[in-house]
Amino acid sequence: MITRIREVRRARQMTLQDVAERCDPPTTPQTIGRLETGTRTVSVGWLNRIAQALEVDAGDLVQLPDREDVIVAATLGHDGAHAPRRETVVIPPQPEPGLVAVTVSAGIGDYRPGDEIWCVRLQPEEFGRAVNRDLLLPRSGGRFVFGRLIGRDGDKLHIIPLGTGQRQMVVNNAPWAAVATQLLRKL
């Protein structure tokens, strides 16, 4: 079996140490390195552990003959586009549990028509993780609020809508919130 563990790890910008520490149970960077290079046989159990540590599906770590990789052709920086130092791939986004999407029909804030905003649902005790991030909140009557969470005061969430000239909103006792984690945009 030909694995893509190294390519996916590099695409996630993680070191061998990072992956080893995030495995459950933790392992050593040397073990991850041996699994990457094929010095040690990769079992399904190891594939699942490493996939969980990298936050990808186990299938993303295996090279399949009928699946094309998305090769990184260039890296864009402050001084322009440059060839990557080593061949690398990107991992296409995949649905995960608790994921919801917001589609943009008219430009507002940083978002353009046609954008898809992928959001991960959070429970009230997790709302603190979303401060200074864009999020979707349900309101009564099937309505929603989408904006930047600027503060939290107990059960009150302080939101700045993305449109210009709009006033800060306060949402009380939201049953859940969905924080924006990924933007998909066609150019």
Domain ranges across the chain: 5-90, 99-184
Q: Which phi-psi region, left, alpha or beta, contains residue 28 (left: φ > 0; alpha: ψ -120 to 50)? A: beta
Which CA distances in Å does 44 have to 9, 66, 83, 127?
A: 18, 20, 34, 35
Hey, what CATH topology would domain 99-184 get? Answer: Umud Fragment, subunit A (2.10.109)
Token pair belonging to 86: 């080593």
- For the entire predicted model, the pTM comes to 0.63
pLDDT value for 157: 94
Average the pLDDT over 92-105 and give the result: 83
Residue the block writes with tokens 């006792």: 173
Architecture of domain 5-90: Orthogonal Bundle (1.10)
Q: pLDDT digit string (tens) for 40-67?
A: 988 999 999 999 999 888 888 887 766 6
- What pLDDT sits at residue 73? 85
